Amino acid sequence: MSGDTDLLSGTLDLLILQTIALEPMHGWAVAQRIQVISRDLLKVQQGSLYPALHRLENQGWIQSEWGASDNKRRAKYYSLTRAGKKQLAKETLKWQRLSSGVNLVLGQRVLARS
C-alpha cells in the first residue's frame, strides 16, 4: 500500500481474496483491479502484493496455476480455494464490524462538535 492510504494489516489479504473471488487472476491484474475498483484510492505495491499472494497460497486460501493470458503469454493465475471462500466471508464480516465501529465513534465526535 502506498502513501496516505496505508492499510491496516490484514486488509490487503481481504482485498486480494475478494478480487480473486470474481475470477482467477495473475498478480499484476489483481493490483490493477484493486486500483481501478477503488477509484485510485488504493494502490497496491508489488513489494507487498507478491509476498501476500504467496502467503495466502501457503495458507491454502488461494491456489495458483500457470495459464495463457489474453495475448497468449504465460502467467501465474491465482484462484480462490474452498477454504479461501470461507476465509473471505469471515474476513469480510470482521472488516464490516471494525469499520462500522470506527465510523460510529467518529460520527459521535462529529455530532458532539455540532
Partner 1 sequence: MRMWNVFKTRIRSLLLRKRAEMELDEELRVHIEREIERKVKSGSSTEDARCEAEREFGGLERLKEECRDARGWQLLDALMQDARYGLRVLLRAPAFLFAVVLMLGIGIGANTAIFSVLNAVLIRPLPYPASDALVGVFNRFVIQGQVFEDAALSPGMYAACKDSASAFESFGVWTSGAATMTGMGDP
- Contact footprint for partner 1 (CB under 8 A): 26-28, 32, 45-47, 50-52, 54-55, 57-61, 63, 66, 73-76, 81-83
For the bound state, the minimum distance from the C-beta of residue 103 to partner 1, rounded and expressed in Å, comes to 32
Contact 29, 44 (CB under 8 A): no
Identify the residue whose cell numbers are 465526535. Answer: 109
Compute the half-sphere exposure of residue 90: CA atoms within 13 Å on the CB side of its CA: 9
Identify the residue whose cell numbers are 486460501. Answer: 61
Contact 35, 29 (CB under 8 A): no
Q: Which is nearer to partner 1, 46 or 103 (CB)?
A: 46
Q: Which is nearer to partner 1, 28 or 102 (CB)?
A: 28
Q: Which is nearer to partner 1, 28 or 96 (CB)?
A: 28
For the bound state, the minimum distance from the C-beta of residue 39 to partner 1, rounded and expressed in Å, comes to 17
